[in-house]
Chain A
Amino acid sequence: MKDELIMSPTGRINEFKIIINKKVFPLKNESKEGKNLIFKNLEFTIKKGQFLSLFGPSGCGKTTLLNIISGLDKDYDGYIQPWSKTSQKVNKQDISRKYSFSNISYMFQNPRLFPWLTTIENIKYPIKKQRNADKVANNLLKKVGLEKYKNQYPNRLSGGMQRRVAMARAFAPNPNILLLDEPFISLDKKISNSLRKLLIKLWKKNKPIIIFVTHDLDEAIELADRIFFLSSLPSKILLDYKINLGRPRNRNNKGFLSLKRLLSSATKNKY
């Protein structure tokens, strides 16, 4: 378990490259060989400050990709290659190993809050041992607008509030890379809208690399600098599109709508 290299926590990551030669579902039935292939020769680079959206049909391996990047899933053939300011070169020996980023954060589809910890304790969890943990957590609590619920347990909060807590927790370690897996799913429009605005607000401060999984094209266009359109299994990048709309983005804006039309027609036959 402990054979992977840990990035030095001081070096901010400028960009990282991910190379997955092969990733399969661990199927018990051997005869289905070939059908369980998720990724084959997937390779891409992400640069500092980028907000990347992964868009694709459900079951196309988006969550699997996030789990691989986060280091939670190490069962694949390939590697992640990070460059930090301090070390531009990565030697061969390092490449053969699997990196796990020391400063990565993840907001899951389900908030995954600890039900036995209060709101503030949940936010503090990733940075518990740091000396300024209280200050950072209180600050984030204020930013997500939940000061009144500081000492409440998650079970007593609404779905929208739980996502706010989860978002505050995800930003608590001031991550280099932040992964989000359809975090605003199954919420009503008004609430998911305000959560998207909050995400942009928090992101703008230190601009970590964000990888945001969604199957809602509107959401992808509204948030991202760059969208990967993924195919169904085995998953490939069909289109890597850079978005040049200014922020904040309005879904009823002409540029927004024409871009949406363009992107959905460009990818229509692929899905």
Chain B
Amino acid sequence: MNTLLNNGLFRRLVSIILLIFLWGIVSKIIGDKIILPSPSDVAESIRYHASEDLFEHIYITLLRVFTAFFLAMVIGSAIGIAMGRKKKLDDYFDGWLILALNVPALVTIILCFIWFGLNEVAAVLAVAINKIPTVTVILREGTKAIDERLVQVGKLYNKSRFEIIKDIIVPQLFPYFISAARSGLALIWKIVLVVELLGRSNGVGFKINEFFSMFDTTSILAYTLVFVLIIMSIEWLLVKPTEKKLTEWRL
């Protein structure tokens, strides 16, 4: 038993079971499904929605998450690297960047719907625009931190510009890409739900709004739980192993 308790994984498992147990007790004391349904109610609801259209909506939401994520990473990185390399650009656009960082997500979303209409493009664009400034900031710092002395080694051995970027610049930026990707994923899926709630007729956000109008707390928790689990497994199965592989040279 003692050796089991010394196992980190085991302790985490105990902690999760404890949380579900506590949730069960609290819901029993409250005794009202609208305020807090029991774990078994939610499990039952997941089973029901899974046989209906749960995964359809999750699929649509994930598609929006990844499109917006991809757009934000590409555009944000390009701007960030450019600003990190060229001081003039940084001086001109630093003010814009600070402004963009401070515009509330909700404002961008509503403005995009007003300007581009209640459509898919506006929805994805709104999410991407929210994320671009943070990616830009992270990559700008990363670019500024590039060790020129290592770039000189490449120049000394007559490596081409492309080889220097591929073999010397990009590896130095990897930790920053990963950091931007991780914080990006966490932020984007939350904003996507808001976008769906405000202006789409499908996706997890839309469904949650629908359940809200019926005070169906059980279904809200069922959808949330499944979606959170999927996002977490992406982090565990995709982001973490990639990070480990790309940064194993660090101490």
Contact = CB atoms under 8 A, between A and B. Distances in A.
Secondary structure class of chain B's binding surface, majority of residues: helix
B249 A110 contact: no
Interface string B220-251: 00000000000000000000000000001111
B157 A173 contact: yes
Contacts of B153: 106, 108, 112, 114, 125
A110 B152 CA distance: 12
A72 B156 contact: yes
A115 B250 contact: yes
Contact of B149 (A105, A112, A125, A173): A112
A114 B152 CA distance: 12
A70 B154 CA distance: 12
B171 interface: yes
A228 B250 CA distance: 41
Contacts of B149: 108, 110, 112
A70 B168 contact: no
A72 B152 contact: yes
Interface string A14-32: 0000000000000000000
Given A108-B149, A112-B149, A114-B171, A153 B249 contact: yes
Contacts of A106: 153, 156
A116 B157 contact: no
B168 A114 contact: yes
A154 B171 CA distance: 15
B249 A115 contact: yes
B142 to A, nearest CB: 14
Contacts of A117: 249
B251 A102 contact: no
A71 B154 CA distance: 12
Interface string B147-167: 001101101111000000001
A156 B157 contact: no
A123 B156 CA distance: 14
A114 to B, nearest CB: 6
Contacts of B155: 71-72
A90 to B, nearest CB: 21
Interface in A51-108: 70-72, 100, 102, 104-106, 108
Contacts of A116: 171, 174, 249
Interface residues of B, number: 16
Contacts of A154: 249
A114 B157 CA distance: 14
B249 A126 contact: no
Given A72-B155, A155-B251, A156-B251, A112 B171 contact: no
Contacts of B249: 115-117, 153-155
Contact of B250 (A102, A110, A126, A155): A155
Contacts of B251: 155-156
Contact of A70 (B156, B171, B174, B248): B156
Interface string A112-132: 101111000000011000000
A175 to B, nearest CB: 10
A129 B249 CA distance: 23
Contacts of B157: 105, 125-126, 173
A102 B159 CA distance: 11
A106 B152 CA distance: 10
The listed residue with most B CB atoms (<10 A of its CB), out of A104, A112, A114, A173, is A114
Contacts of B158: 6, 100, 102
The listed residue with most A CB atoms (<10 A of its CB), out of B155, B167, B171, B249, is B249
A153 B251 CA distance: 9
The listed residue with most A CB atoms (<10 A of its CB), out of B149, B152, B153, B251, is B153
A100 B155 CA distance: 11
Interface string B37-54: 000000000000000000
Contacts of A114: 150, 153, 167-168, 171
Contacts of A125: 153, 157, 167
A56 to B, nearest CB: 22
The listed residue with most A CB atoms (<10 A of its CB), out of B150, B155, B158, B171, is B158
A154 B167 CA distance: 16
Sort A-B residue pairs by CB-CB distance and give the 6 closest, nearest first: A153-B249, A126-B157, A116-B249, A116-B171, A155-B251, A106-B156
12 contacts: A71-B156, A72-B155, A102-B158, A106-B153, A108-B149, A108-B153, A112-B152, A112-B153, A114-B150, A115-B249, A154-B249, A155-B250
Given A112-B149, A125-B157, A153-B249, 6 more contacts: A72-B155, A100-B158, A102-B158, A105-B157, A125-B153, A154-B249
